[in-house]
Structure 1
Amino acid sequence: MAGTRTPADAAREAVVEAALARLDLDAKARLLSGRDMWTLPALPEIGLKALVMSDGPIGVRGVRWTADDPSVALPSPTALAAAWDPDLARRAGTLLAQEARRKGVHVLLAPTVNLHRSPLGGRHFEAYSEDPFLTGTIGAAYVSGVQSGGVGTTVKHFVANDAETDRFTVNNVVSERALRELYLAPFEIIVENAHPWGIMTAYNTVNGTTMTEHHHLVNEVLRGEWGFDGYNVSDWMAARDTVGAIDGGLDVAMPGPRTVYGEPLAQAVRDGKVAEAAVDAAVRNVLRVAARVGILQGAEPVVTEPPETVDGGALAREIARRSFVLVRNQGALPLRPNSTVALIGAAARDARVLGGGSATVFPAHVVSPLDGLTAALPEGTLTYAVGADPNTELGVADKGFELRAVCRDREGNVIGTGSAPNGQIQWMGSDLPEGVTHEALRTVELTGTFTPRDTGTHTFGIKGLGAFRLTIDGTTYYDDVHRPAEDDPFVSFFGAPVPRARPELTVGEPVEVCLTHTVEFPEDAPMKVVGFTLHHQEPQRDPDELIAEAVEAARGADTAVVVVATTERVESEGYDRADLTLPGRQDDLVRAVAAANPNTVVVVNSGSPVELPWREDVAAVLLGWFPGQEGGAALADVLTGAHEPGGRLPTTWGSLTDAPVTEVVPSAGELPYREGVFIGYRAWEKEGRTPSYAFGHGLGYTEWTYESVEVTGTTVTVRVRNSGERAGREVVQVYLAPGEPDADRPPRWLAGFAGVTAGPGERCEAVIELPRRAFEVWDETTKAWTFVKGSYEIQAGRSIADRRLTTAINV
């Protein structure tokens, strides 16, 4: 099912078997355990180089968590899915392979294809959609693109890793039918159509078995039924038991050097607890990936000539504008030529272009909405006001800071220095400044100057664990120890910063800043990490004054464009959301601006749904996701009409009160998926609830007339006409609805889609092949897929709520 073996595959397999035969038990066990944070060990005796992995999915960070090593930052996965264009996803993957090769990375830890089960999932920006078919289709294209560049992927997180609360320990209780029809489905589509070289197993437990030891789902389903032949790597620190992991089909335990594999695995074989054949099978999978990416001597890599070079900035801009979803437009967009615009919102100046956590990369530059519109609009037609700042917490010290890291030993001697482009230090494993060793390192001083952008009370804070001393302008404000408030190994990365100093500073007058961290490496830690962050918040002005200034700016302009946003404390890896409201006073801001200017356009800068209580009171609403490094330029393209917004919703947007599935917090360690197969639009329709904006919805700058639909076998042909006044792209969506209502099945589900383009007055055809699986259900009695015969309606349209044409078929 995972693909037909070619002569080149057979040749690589022969090299793999020969290499495996030359390894002793200790070398084999060592290969399956991370050497450090991101790599597997080299084995020179068989000509094997160290295999390097890196986080994705919007960019390739490389092995260093630092802004000093920049990466192209594409829009978030929700944005990529919103384009409903597999070819665009494939091109994104090709670019990321190019970035990986530039950084010496062999395997990208992406894509994330977990589902938007509940809108409260804090990491949804990193996944594609609530729909398994759309998720699998976009994910398969992404994987194909990355691997076309000779770089491996690890599709993650296998499986049911759909929320962040207690993610290390939660037991997700999921029916077999829901697993098959929803949560496993994207992985199955990708394995069948894109043949990924890796899978990452999740932290969580499914139905009582932790995923790194899940023999049934990994060995019997993933490898057995689907024919997956790549390697299976644990999520970082997810592997818990040597015997359970190897018997459960886990090939690689990351990160190193201390894992449940390596020496413990070799000893388990000697003690008779593990069969050496199980170790051989895991090593074989790792060597196969190494051969495919070209780091095993004697094996020809799958890709010998990488694809042509991709312009990263241009592609990031294209994906962004094609992902923007115009959900409401009362004639406000595109902007009229030479009209005046009041741009409002803190996120318009300091753009949020990506989500927090493992998806973080550091682009060389970011185009904010203010930058993009300033460049695109005639001089003198644009004004700016902050309006309301959603950042009620501190952010990483960045603008106005010039910092460096100074490393000292126990005697206070300088043993090395490193650059620090911002206030975040994340040195993992061997990633230390030149000349510095873990044994010698005692303190790290993050030191330099800060030049304020505003006069007033500035707030400085610290994120991290251990002893810290914070000194600003010669005054020590904090000298004590930060202790963990919760049992989370990643609290230093994803926890909240703690305010520690509030000095009065003057705009333009530099002050000395120094945060000193005393480094401790616990003996039982699986890896050695130096991780802490200096945070900062500018003086907080009275919110009512800021809103009043924005109202005045809006009143004097032809159009007001308000950018509202979430923050890293709202959407990030590591925690779920408590609600769907915009942080701070942003809702008040929109209402006030809309009252002053009826031609108000709201741009929503979030990775996943937020409530929009004012949506009917404004002239236009544009969903901009986390748009990547070129987001501001893409926004200008769309607002001015140079390009139309091309996106359609990959997930339903509505209020939390109406949302059918909201449970993400476990009880007594368990999270039951009570809703079964009814999530997303399936659940909204079953419950008879009307969302703010339906799955698949999105407007362009032209109009489309649906003229006819025909079905031949399982091929659906939909004819549409561009009945507007400018060229455009339409996403024709086909939904399958059973002729006889069935309470156990959704009223309808997405069965296929296709994008078409046409000029004014032109007709075109969307040809969509219905997959057999669209007509099947998982039978929990027979434990097999069952083709459900009978009559079905083929419903073609613009969204699940806007179905234009219907025809019937019998199967």
Structure 2
Amino acid sequence: MDPPPFPKLDVNHLMQKLTSDEKIMLTAGRDAWHTVPIKQFDIPSIRTSDGPNGVRGTRFFESVPSSCFPCGTGLGASWDADLLHRVGKALAAESKVKGVHVLLAPTVNIPRSPVGGRTFEPYSEDPFLSGMLARGLIKGLQGEGIGATMKHLVANDQEFERYSISSEVPMRALREIHLRPFELAIRCDNPPWAVMTGYNRVNGLHCSEDTFLLSQVLRREWNFKGLIMSDWGGAYSSTAATRAGLDLEMPGPTVFRGVVSKAALGGKKISQQNIDAGARNLLELVNKVQESGVPEDASEESIDTPEVRALMREAASSAVVLLKNQAPPHQRYAVLPLLSHPDTQSIAIIGPNAKIALLGGGGSASLRATYSVTPFDAISAAAKGAGITDVKYARGANGYKFVPLFGPELVASNGKPGVDLNFFNENPFAVLKSKPVYHVVTTSTFMFFSGDLPSTAVNLICWVEVTGKYTPDVQGDHEFGLASGGRAYLYIDGQMIIDNWTNPVPGESFANHGSTELRATRTLNRGQQYNLSVRYFYEPPALYPVGSQKRGGIRFGVAASKPQQEFIDEAVTVAQNVDKVILLLGLDGDYECEGYDRPDMKLPDAQNSLASAVLEANPKTIVVVQSGAPVEMPWADQASGILQAFYGGNEGGNGIADILFGKVNPSGRLPLTFPKRFEDNPTYLNFGKGHNGKVHYGEGLFVGYRYYESTKLAPLFPFGFGKSYSYFSLLASLSSPKIGPNETIYVDITVKHGSWFRPGREVVQVYVQDVESSLQRPIKELKGFVKTPVLQPGESREFSVPLDRVSLGFFDDHEDVNQWVAEKGRFKVYVVGSTETETKELDLELTESFSWI
């Protein structure tokens, strides 16, 4: 039984009683996820947990299952702050059953490049949309007593050399673009209780040591009262970080906040005031999360209720954007929705991602889901419900970066999907009578032994034997893959087929702390059972690098293997013999992952060839792209229907099916610009390896749509783009044609559902243009938006969008100004609805110039 919730603390009294050593203890973690308790003063340990789209709990390896919501860009595609609020409440409920007090979310870094490894994790390329959606999630979490942690402050936008790279950002771009979502969420009635610093440097200084960012901007300008913590392994000093205002070093045990801080205090490199500030902010956070009722060191459980499933399904369909929907050649009607076509008697589901549930991107956002729904299963069920009984399938291509993990064909000794793991503290492959010190049956062949295992009996230097029985469901060649954080062999029926023991080569697995993947192909018989085993040894390096993971990890997988053209030919044959095709393409959490960036925007391997061939074979093909970030679509002109599905979490498959069959009228809008080519994006020459440890933000203010509109370079699909199965009309006016300093006016908007059938939702976007600015500014910038409730055919609703000084100002970085400025003169206000809706243009005048900080 869990202990009772802890009582509130008398912070002022404690600050008088605690010694300097005890206060220093409070400013560092106890372990990977907990802060340090001080029992004699009844100060509890509070628990943190990843992440942005779910609550993993305290373990990567065999974690307690969690509800997985869509990835950040998928939630961003909803343009729905109310949905984010409800997702926040659901994450708070999951936090409570996992004993979590502080969730490490939301992520609001600006994805300046489409190929950043974590581009899938934040909400949008636009700081206003990102900040306002973050407000919704924060309100949902903290309204239930669970602390939110905005991350990663700031310009933490690439994975290459992420611990050391210096983001060289002009001050205007830093203020107007990269700091703006943090500012919007902090300077409001419900600011986050914590902020996490980035790994990187900004203009030469590590974020965790930057007095300008932490003390001047956060504390003095924005009046932030919460806790400032480091990213995990993102504290690099005691003195500089403490003086800058970093309150908490994570994870524990401490590297810099123990004897190092004591020596620095004794040498007066840091002051008692510095120490007190961090300790006080930690104690104040303890009091805030006390309201959650979550006890200290609670057990971990899952939530899986009809209500949570319904919310995840709603979020998954909201993450789908209808990009194209037109009539195929020689047809009268648009290809979607499928239920509107009584002639559809047979469908084919084709693609390498059809039978895989793509929950989200890789890294700290990944988790073990309570359940998952693949597109194939969801579409097949929806088709059956619609009376379509002829459903065919073809894989079409292999498109993996790492060989896919084993599925239910691999079983453990208990007969359930998974494998047996035996851990040893001596070499069992040399000492035959060695006894395992720990045994567990896993559910996945991705095993990241991060932090503490469920047993403390396993030494840091350890051996592991993995065993299972594999029964292929297809005949022929199978490709096996093995990557590891230590040394490993893979055996089939006692025959070693992969040697990653003799000379493992460092690679991208396990957040760049593992090896490259080695592969081998074997011919297997369908239905025959094979004994599979892996032998593994881990010994940590002599000098443990920052961010390294205890005991490494193992991942191994299998896939049917044959020449890509054979896969494509099979898919073409299937496509030619059905009425319609749903073609599922995209990336996965191996391509989009914390730890490394993508080299380009291309789809994997033969997916583009597959798309062109299937679209030629059957023009009534709907292409569904699942990815967290933009991909190139060289076949887009061929396609009659295109959906961008992002990563949809547990209910991703049902979210796609609901849109395809018209159960849900699509209302998603792109939170990112999709360029035609990788070379078209504004960061093409200023991203990645940079120059001598620096990456220059050469695009300045012109991130995303700001760049494409200013250069008149047409993207494949613009920011804010998205279609509906319905038509909406807009009326818009200003509550006043003039606005003065510190005033707020309103854009009054009437939205009417103009179709004669099918209820639907509209997204209205409000942009502002400074016509007479003395400094260069983007052509227009998003300053407001509305997501309507479901409108019935013919129904009208009225809305008001506020415009204030934040909507009009820019940051003047001249040394004599160095503050926000709004200049008197003419402005244009643009009100934009669905793709087919006419843009409304309104005139606004600012009567007087003014400034603020």
Provide the rounded CA distance (Å) in 2 between the counterparts of 1:34 and 1:297.
Answer: 21
Aligned Cα root-mean-square deviation (Å): 2.5
Conserved 8 A contact 2:728-2:837: no
Q: In the alignment, which of 380, 387, 390 is matched to residue 396 of structure 2?
A: 387
In structure 1, the partner of 2:729 is 705
Cα 1:361–1:132 shift into 2, 3 Å = same
Q: Distance in 2 between matches of 1:752 and 1:559?
A: 39
Structure 1 CA distance for aligned equivalents of residues 680 and 543 of structure 2: 46
Which residue does the alignment assign to 1:278? 274
Q: What's the offset of the Cα at 1:570? A: 2.4
* Contact 1:466–1:481 (8 Å) recurs in 2: no
- Say if 1:365 and 1:640 are closer, same or farther in 2 by CA, change over 3 A: same
Contact 1:345/1:563, CA 8 A, preserved across alignment: yes
Give the 3 Å change call, closer, same or farther, for CA 689–49 of structure 1 in structure 2: same
Partner of 1:85: 80
User: Is the 1:715–1:768 Cα contact (8 Å) retained in structure 2?
Assistant: yes
User: Within 1, Cα distance between the matches of 2:236 and 2:92?
Assistant: 31
1:19-418 maps to which residues of 2 (within 5 A)?
A: 19-193=14-188, 194-294=190-290, 311-330=307-326, 331-335=334-338, 336-337=341-342, 339-378=345-384, 380-402=389-411, 403-410=419-426, 412-418=434-440
Q: Which residue does the alignment assign to 1:445?
A: 465
Cα distance change of structure 1 residues 176 and 559 upon mapping to structure 2, 3 Å threshold: same
1:724 aligned to 2:760?
A: no
SS for the counterpart of 1:588 is: helix
Q: Which residue of 1 aligns with 2:299?
A: none
Is residue 2:673 matched to residue 1:673? no
> 1:236: how far off?
1.1
CA deviations 1:303-357 (Å, max 9, x no partner) are xxxx998822111110111121101111111002553211111211113221111
Q: Tell me which residue corresponds to 1:517.
A: 536
Q: Distance in 2 between matches of 1:734 and 1:18?
A: 50
Deviates more, 1:126-135 or 1:274-283: 274-283
The equivalent of 1:808 in structure 2 is 843
Establish whether residue 768 from structure 1 lines up as the match of residue 777 from structure 2.
Answer: no
1:228 CA drift (Å): 1.1
Whichever residue aligns with residue 823 of structure 2, its letter is V
Question: Which of residues 598, 614, 638 in structure 1 aligns to 2:635?
Answer: 614
> Structure 1's 468 and 673: CA in aligned 2 closer, same or farther, altered over 3 A?
same
Mapped pair 1:425 → 2:447: yes
Distance 1:217 1:688 in 2: 35
Residue 500 of structure 1 deviates from its aligned partner by 4.8
**In 1, Cα distance between equivalents of 2:485 and 2:515:** 12
Of 88-97 and 508-517, deviating more is 508-517
The residue that corresponds to 1:551 in the other structure is 572
Cα distance change of structure 1 residues 702 and 297 upon mapping to structure 2, 3 Å threshold: closer
Q: Determine the structure 1 residue equivalent to 2:330.
A: none
Check 1:168–1:254 CA distance in 2 against 1; reply closer, same or farther (3 A cut).
same
Counterpart for residue 488 of structure 2: 468
What secondary structure does 1:622 align onto? strand
**Equivalent residue, structure 2, for 1:564:** 585
> Quick check: 1:661–1:683 contact (8 Å CA) kept in 2?
no
Deviation at 1:67, TM superposition (A): 4.1
Cα deviation, residue 482, structure 1: 5.3
What amino acid does structure 1 have at the position aligned with 2:680?
A: D
- Partner AA of 1:517 in structure 2: Y
Contact in 2 for aligned 1:404/1:421 (Cα 8 Å): no
Q: CA deviation at 1:74?
A: 0.6
Letter in structure 2 aligned against 1:111: P
Q: State the match for 2:475 in structure 1.
A: 455
Query: Runs of 5+ in structure 1 lacking a partner?
Result: 1-10, 301-306
| Deviation per residue, 1:581-633 (Å, 9 max, x gap) | 11111111111111122211111111111111111211111110001111111
Counterpart of 1:349, as a letter, is K
Residue 546 (structure 1) shift: 1.7
**SS at 1:125 equivalent:** coil
In 1, Cα distance between the equivalents of 2:354 and 2:46?
41
Distance 2:590 2:265 in 1: 45
- Deviates further, 144-153 or 469-478: 469-478
What letter is aligned with 1:797?
A: V
Q: 1:745 aligns with which of 777, 786, 801?
A: 777
How far is 1:752 from its partner?
A: 0.5
Q: Which residue of 1 aligns with 2:812?
A: 779
Q: CA deviation at 1:801?
A: 10
Letter of the structure 2 residue corresponding to residue 425 of structure 1: M
Alignment partner of 2:830: what SS? strand
Gap change, CA 1:646 and 1:799, over 3 Å in 2:
closer
Distance 1:359 1:774 in 2: 32
**Counterpart for residue 671 of structure 2:** 650
Higher mean C-alpha displacement, 456-465 vs 18-27: 456-465
Distance 1:488 1:267, change over 3 A: farther
**C-alpha offsets along residues 424-458 of structure 1, whole Å, 9 cap, x if unaligned?**
223333x224361436x631222222222323333
Check whether the contact 2:33–2:251 (CA below 8 A) recurs between aligned residues: yes
Q: TM-score, normalised by structure 1?
A: 0.93
In structure 1, C-alpha distance between the alignment counterparts of 2:673 and 2:599, rounded to whole Å: 18
Is the Cα contact below 8 Å between 1:51 and 1:295 reproduced in 2? no
Deviation at 1:37, TM superposition (A): 1.2
2:526 aligned with 1:507, yes or no?
yes
Q: CA deviation at 1:66?
A: 3.0
Amino acid at match of 1:390: G
Change (3 A) 1:587 1:348: same
The reply to whether residue 664 of structure 1 matches residue 696 of structure 2 is no
CA distance in 2 between partners of 1:487 and 1:581 (Å): 19
Q: Assess if the C-alpha contact under 8 Å between 1:407 and 1:436 holds in 2.
A: no
Give the TM-score of the pair, scaled to structure 2.
0.89
Instruction: Name the stretch that deviates more: 800-809 or 144-153.
Output: 800-809
Distance 1:772 1:485 in 2: 52
The count of residues paired between Structure 1 and Structure 2 equals 790
Are the counterparts in 2 of residues 66 and 421 from structure 1 also a CA contact under 8 Å?
no
2:828 counterpart of 1:793:
yes
Query: Which stretch of the first structure deviates more once superposed, 705-714 or 645-654?
Result: 705-714
Which SS does the other structure have where 1:736 is aligned? strand
Shift of 1:486: 7.0
Counterpart of 2:792, as a letter, is G
CA drift of 1:566 comes to 1.0
Contact 2:99 2:295 survives alignment (8 Å): no
2:300 match: none
Aligned AA (1:514): S
> Secondary structure of 2:229's match?
strand
- In structure 1, give the amino acid aligned to 2:335: A
Shift of 1:521: 3.4
Shift of 1:135: 0.4
Change (3 A) 1:350 1:528: closer
Residues of 2 paired with 1:543 and 1:353: CA distance?
A: 26
Cα distance, 1:383 vs. partner?
1.5
Asked whether the equivalents of residues 462 and 551 of structure 2 are also in contact (C-alpha less than 8 Å), the reply is no
Give me the whole-angstrom Cα distance separating, in 1, the residues matched to 2:493 and 2:510. Answer: 33
Query: Percent of aligned positions with the same letter in both sequences?
Result: 35
Which stretches in structure 2 are left out of the alignment for 5+ residues?
A: 1-6, 297-302, 327-333, 412-418, 740-744, 847-853
For 2:830, give the aligned amino acid. Q
Q: Secondary structure at the match of 1:458?
A: strand
